[in-house]
Chains A and B, each alone.
Chain A
Amino acid sequence: MTLRAPLTIEPAPHVHAGTSVAWIMLHVVIALIPACVFAVYLFGLAALLTLLVATLSCLAAERLLQRGSAFTLADGSALVTGLIYGLTLPPALPLWMVAMGGFVAMAIGKTLFGGLGSNAFNPALVGRVFLQAAFPAAMTGAWLTPLAAERFVTLPEATLTGPFLAPASGSYDALTGPTPLGDWKFAGGETSTFDLALGFTSGSLGETSALLLLLGGLYLVWVKAANWRIPAAILLTVAICASLLHGIDPQRYPSASFMLLSGGLMLGAWFMATDPVASPLSAAGCWIYGLVIGLLVVLIRLCSGQPEGVMYAILLGNALSPHIDRWTQPRAYGAAGGGS
């Protein structure tokens, strides 16, 4: 036969590994599902609504703010940001705050920097840090007691309050037991490792279930959707520092297992610090970046007035990341100073 059809010309390589940005984001969503389901099981309707509003507000903000005709929702990054952002929130936060923070996450955390691939900081954390600054009382008080009997029937009073009509400041305390980290910091109490690992504690939606987050994180690393060096470096640093300090003064410093399993460390280490855009490129860079975040987590938790420091530690790590990249440029083959 004769060949008549015109040939398509594309530069080599003519084959591709098959991954795409949407593929990576899809795997992150899959890895987050168990933790989301567990959060809803633990805190009921309020958690479901918080996650929904967080995700929808991020998707809506992305759609509203995107430039030109590009349909950027398809890459899945807004969905991932929304889910992670939702998991960082306390369950009884008023929904209007949730929506506002989601909008800030996408507008200031992402679009302002130039959209996908250009954000200097993890957008979900930008949203959360905004809420922390704007509504500190709500962000540190809107906890719910896990497995409350009425959780699938009634909503906390705060959830449906209108914008800027927050309930009287005292009302949060009625709902809640303190989070394990707050309990330890302010009252000297230590929650059992078992409860921490399985997640039957008070806390943010994604703070509670260390085990499910760990499984999700391992899945991400297994499908190579996240760089394993980052969580490894963070968790190792925290574990080693905590063990040392606990060994020196067990009364003053909590054990390594408590430090690893409580608060947002698992969510942060596996899902937020691994945001490729705001983390270093090279293997060496990832180790340094994880080490810095781990040290900051220990420092903030143990030496500051805040019970939890993962959020600030990661944001500071993000800020450092371009500099780490500069320090850890790979040495090119054949360049001076190499070989043997």
Chain B
Amino acid sequence: MWGRSAFRGGVTPATHKAQTQTQRIRQFPFAPLLEVPLLQHAGRPALPVVREGAAVERGAVLGRADGERSVPVHAPAAGRVQRIALMPSVTGAMVPGIYLEPFPGATQEVASGTACDLATATAEDIINAVQAAGIVGLGGAAFPTHAKLRMPPERRVRLLIINGAECEPWLTTDYRVMLEQPADVVLGVRYLLKATGAEAVVLAVEEDGREAGEAVLAAAPEGMSLKASFLPTRYPQGAEKLLIRALLGVEVPAGGLPIDVGALCINVATAAEIGRLLPFGRGIQERVVTITGPGVLDPGNYRMPIGTPLRFALEQVGTAADVTRVFLGGPMMGQPLASLDVPITKGISGFVAFTSAEYRDAGRVQPCIHCGRCVQACPMTLNPCQLGLLARHGEVETMRRDFHLDACFECGCCAYVCPSHIPLVQEFRAAKAELRRLAAHAVTEEKS
């Protein structure tokens, strides 16, 4: 039914998934002190509703949503609010957060709220319940899911895409969730179908995750028209715009949203969480995280309480003596960490520890030899070669206007294949930052 034509470009790095693919999801212990940021999503931070020193139940609301572009934050453990203060985040910025000291020996039973019954709930009820559960895109973007579901009235969803194409090497979170929680995924999809009124739904999985996709299909009840599309294992197949290209044969217009072509993409782990939480009126207190890499002694998939400090997490799984690099997410787009004293948040699907053996000996950066590998690899069919040249000359406006810099989502394919080891992605990020600065400057001048 769905075309198998993938997309132009892309790369096929070694996937390294075997290390954790067969590992069952294991419950992670509570750290002695959980650091729960009130900003774990794209939008406005939640507003704290507890006082320092207060005792909270597991699953109780710690912070309420501040408006439409915000979601509440729930307590990952029964414990005592030790402090409400700024805390370090993975991006380096300080964000407001709650330090929570779990009670030792508590039963850690999860508090339930008002259940959202699939049979009786209206679309609006479901969208509100999704917001109340604090659900955001668990694939990494952490965009509030309810805001995605609440679309302008003239827009209709032709195809709901459940994204299980986990194209980043090393990560197996979505794979395990599909394999172990197929019923949750299916229930989540049914909530989503009702909330969006989508005409059709398809589960997109890469060929190397076929058995996980089939497990979800097998869990679908009679009469539910859930289909799966098995796409070639090729990075970055899981990118929203490329999935839409592969499944619908259309491109999302520049600057537009998937809904402009009638598509809506929801990560499969997000769907599973909706199916797991909404029937009980609960909120997100934990998520599945792949901890892996050559620097990890006990790699695996763990259900981790939100707010677990990374240092605690790595100490629990054990690390090699010479861990030199840790990054959140996969090796292609993963955010490098300067410090381990940051917490797990809703958007983190895994982290990888590399030792000095994996040190990418990039050597000296060589001049661009114009070989065109980056042009061939760019899945957005940009011209990274030319963009890099312009970046090195500071021509950021030309990059945006003539070479579609805005379309770049920093997948890293260009830098991955560059034989001259030019840090192209980094140059593009710097150029985008410069463009934002110029835009802000223009606004300020207009006002004055």
Query: A interface vs B, CB < 8 Å?
Result: 1-3, 5, 7-17, 19-21, 23-24, 75, 115-118, 227, 276-283, 286, 325, 329-336, 338-340
- Checking A17, A281, A338 against B370 with a beta-carbon cut-off of 8 angstroms, the contacting residue is A281
Among A8, A20, A278, which residue has its beta carbon within 8 angstroms of that of B359?
A8
| Alpha-carbon distance between A276 and B354 when the two chains are bound, in angstroms | 34
Considering the chains assembled together, what is the distance between the CA atoms of A338 and B252 in angstroms? 10
Partner of B318, one of A1, A20, A227, A286: A1
CA distance A19 to B385 in the complex (A): 16
Q: Are A281 and B372 in contact (CB under 8 A)?
A: yes
Interface residue ranges of B385-443 to A (CB < 8 Å) = 385-386, 403-404, 407, 410, 412, 415-417, 419-421, 423, 425-426, 429
Q: A1-B318, A7-B326, A21-B366 are in contact. Are A13 and B379 (CB under 8 A)?
A: no
- Residues from chain B with a CB closer than 8 A to the CB of A332 are 254, 380-382, 403-404, 407
| CB of B350 to closest CB in A, whole Å | 13
A17 touches B417 (CB 8 A): yes
Give chain B's interface residues, CB within 8 Å of chain A: 11, 13-14, 169, 241, 245, 249-256, 261, 311, 314-315, 318-319, 321-327, 331-340, 352, 354, 359-360, 362-363, 366-373, 375-376, 378-383, 385-386, 403-404, 407, 410, 412, 415-417, 419-421, 423, 425-426, 429
Please tell me if the beta carbons of B256 and A334 are within 8 angstroms of each other in the complex. yes
Complex contact A333–B331 (CB within 8 A) = no
Nearest A-chain residue to B380, judged by Cβ: A333
Q: A3-B311, A15-B360, A23-B419 are in contact. Are A333 and B407 (CB under 8 A)?
A: yes
Q: A276 with B327: in contact, given A11-B423, A13-B332, A335-B407 (CB under 8 Å)?
A: no
Shortest B16–chain A CB gap in Å is 9
Contact across chains for B416 and A5 when beta carbons are under 8 A apart: no
Query: Could you say which of A16, A24, A286, A333 has the most chain B C-beta atoms within 10 Å of its C-beta?
Result: A333
Q: What would be 30 A-B contacts, judged by CB atoms less than 8 Å apart?
A: A1-B319, A1-B321, A5-B322, A5-B323, A7-B325, A11-B425, A12-B412, A14-B325, A14-B327, A15-B332, A15-B416, A16-B362, A16-B416, A20-B420, A20-B421, A21-B369, A23-B419, A116-B366, A117-B370, A227-B372, A276-B369, A279-B370, A281-B383, A286-B372, A325-B386, A329-B386, A330-B382, A334-B256, A336-B254, A339-B250
Cα distance A42–B359 when bound, in Å?
48
CB atoms of A12 and B367 under 8 A apart? no
B369 & A12 in contact (Cβ 8 Å cutoff): no
- How near does chain B come to A139, taking the closest CB pair, in angstroms? 29
Extra inter-chain contacts (6) besides given A1-B321, A339-B261, CB under 8 Å: A1-B319, A9-B325, A75-B366, A117-B370, A334-B380, A339-B250
Docked CA distance A280–B254 (Å): 26
Please give, as numbers and ranges, the residues of chain A lying within 8 Å of B380 by CB-CB distance: 332-334
Number of A-B contacts (CB under 8 A): 177
- Residue pair A21, B245 in contact (C-beta under 8 Å): no
Q: How far apart sit A331 and B314, CA to CA, in the bound complex (Å)?
A: 44
A278 (CB) vs chain B CBs: closest residue: B370
Using Cβ atoms and an 8 Å threshold, which residues of chain A touch B382?
330, 332-333
State whether A331 touches B381 (Cβ < 8 A): yes
- Please state if B371 and A24 are interface contacts (CB–CB under 8 Å): yes
Instruction: Determine if B252 and A334 form an interchain contact, defined as CB atoms under 8 angstroms apart.
Output: yes
The answer to whether B314 touches A3, judged by C-beta atoms less than 8 angstroms apart, is yes
User: Is B369 a contact partner of A277 (Cβ separation < 8 A)?
Assistant: yes
Q: Contact between B370 and A283 (Cβ–Cβ < 8 Å)?
A: no
Q: How distant is B263 from chain A, measured CB to nearest CB, in Å? A: 12
Give complex CA distance A286, B274 in Å. 50
Q: Is the CB of A11 within 8 A of B426?
A: yes
* Contact across chains for B327 and A12 when beta carbons are under 8 A apart: yes
Known contacts A7-B337, A8-B359, A338-B251; A17/B13 CB under 8 A = yes
Asked whether, in the complex, the Cβ of A12 is within 8 Å of the Cβ of B407, the reply is no
Q: Look across to chain A and name the residue whose beta carbon is closest to the beta carbon of B430.
A: A11
| Contact present for B339 and A7 (CB under 8 Å) | yes
Task: Please give, as numbers and ranges, the residues of chain B lying within 8 Å of A21 by CB-CB distance.
Answer: 366, 369, 419-420
A122 CB, min distance to chain B CBs, angstroms: 12
Contacts of B367 in A (CB 8 A): 115-118
In the docked arrangement, what's the CA distance between A2 and B318, Å? 9
CA A116 to CA B169, docked complex, whole Å:
33
**Contact, CB under 8 Å: B415 / A117:** no
Chain B: CB-nearest residue to A21? B366
Given the complex of chains A and B, what is the CA–CA distance between A2 and B333 in angstroms? 27
| CB contact under 8 A between A330 and B419, given known A3-B340, A281-B370 | no
